[in-house]
Structure 1
Amino acid sequence: MKTHTTLLLTPLILLAALMAACKPSGSSDSAAAGSGSAAAAPNPYAVAANAAIGKEVELTANDQMKFNLEFFDVEAGQVVRLTLKNVGSMPKMSMGHNLVILVDNVDEQAFVEAAMNAPVTDYVPADMASSVIAHTKLLGPGESDSITFKAPTKKGRYTFICSFPGHFQVGMKGFMVVR
């Protein structure tokens, strides 16, 4: 009986340990981009899981490669929860959408060119994590993702884009205005 129980429990224990250790990148309600590697510098836009939300923003993305908002306002240093919903109906592999908020002075074209080679990381290039304030995961039709982050303390306009190949090039972008 002991051997039979051990044979049944061992795979379950291993599976539970593996699931606990492996949190997918860009997971729902992720704090901010760049929080994966122990060697990476701390992300200045990351917030604690229990941080009080100062602003909630909801955006949609559609099959016409448009966000419903061209801009949204936040206060400098404010904790923001942003939710993106893909309201389109086309398959994720041909019309997936994400939302990537870039730090100021990023070469947007260079970022999206690097993003084309990063499908495994939802078109957010890992080697450019320092250029990203926060990002959602790549969404298929009807899917949504929420991200929580601290707005920059420097006032100004910060570009947000969809980094799925071709979408930025047709104008799928907007601005987060920090006041």
Structure 2
Amino acid sequence: MKIYLALISAAALALSACGGQQEAAAPAASAETPAENAPAEQAAPASAGSAAAPTEAGACETVVSSDDQMKFDRQELEIKKSCKEFKIVLKHTGKMPAAAMGHNIVISKSEDTSGVVSDGAGATAANDFVKPGDTRVIAHSKLIGGGEETTFTVDPGKFAEGSQYEFYCTFPGHYGLMHGTVKLI
């Protein structure tokens, strides 16, 4: 019994010591990171903050972020009709690989969404879960995993006045949480 209690006490002491080191290491690492990477750290929040609407510097582009919780950081994309082409940057801020939690952005008319999502599920990851040659798709990004980003362009001339458009992820099972509207401005 004494040996058992000694082992439990030693294990508890070791675990509490490890926990203390992690707590001490975390502030040290975060304190060093801003000093070493100040320009990058400052640039990232500016991009994330401007993601809700086109930036003034790049009025014909926007950034959309996604994560491992199957969410886009916005419910609406605003695309300027006056742009010759509109650039969308998709950032996956999660950690999971594309095979487990990949994301893309697909844009189509709202009335075509169900068919594009259904056909995309059968198209496999090799095709970014987008049926090759699908004429209902106005534009789409590559499928990316955690820590990755991709850029694609949209031709605003492909949008018809009076029609409604959506953007969404076609990775199987993601549409339910990962979709929004496209607004032409």
Q: Secondary structure at the match of 1:126?
A: coil
2:100 maps to 1:85:
no
Asked if the contact 2:167/2:179 (under 8 Å) is kept, the reply is: yes
Q: Secondary structure at the match of 1:58?
A: strand
Asked if the contact 2:80/2:86 (under 8 Å) is kept, the reply is: no
Distance 1:135 1:82 in 2: 10
2:86 maps to 1:68:
no
Shift of 1:66: 0.6
2:179 maps to 1:176:
no
* Counterpart position of 1:166: 173
Counterpart of 1:58 (choices 51, 60, 63) is: 63
Counterpart of 1:111 (choices 116, 119, 137) is: 116
Structure 1 segments unaligned to the other structure (5+ residues):
1-52
* Counterpart position of 1:146: 151
TM-score, normalised by the number of residues in structure 2? 0.62
Letter in 1 for 2:103: H
Letter in 1 for 2:132: A
Q: Size of the alignment, in residue pairs? A: 124
More helix by share: 2
Q: Secondary structure at the match of 1:67?
A: coil
With CA pairs under 8 Å and 6+ residues apart, which has the higher RCO, 1 or 2?
Answer: 1
Letter in 1 for 2:72: F
Q: Higher mean Cα deviation, 58-67 or 74-83?
A: 74-83
Distance 1:127 1:72 in 2: 24
**Percent sequence identity over aligned pairs:** 32
User: For residues 161 and 172 of structure 1, do their structure 2 counterparts lie closer, same or farther at Cα, with a shift above 3 Å needed?
Assistant: same
Of structures 1 and 2, the larger Rg is shown by: 2
Shift of 1:56: 1.0
Shift of 1:67: 0.3
Please tell me the root mean square deviation across aligned C-alpha atoms, in Å.
Answer: 1.8
* Counterpart position of 1:7: none
Structure 2 segments unaligned to the other structure (5+ residues):
1-57
Shift of 1:112: 1.1
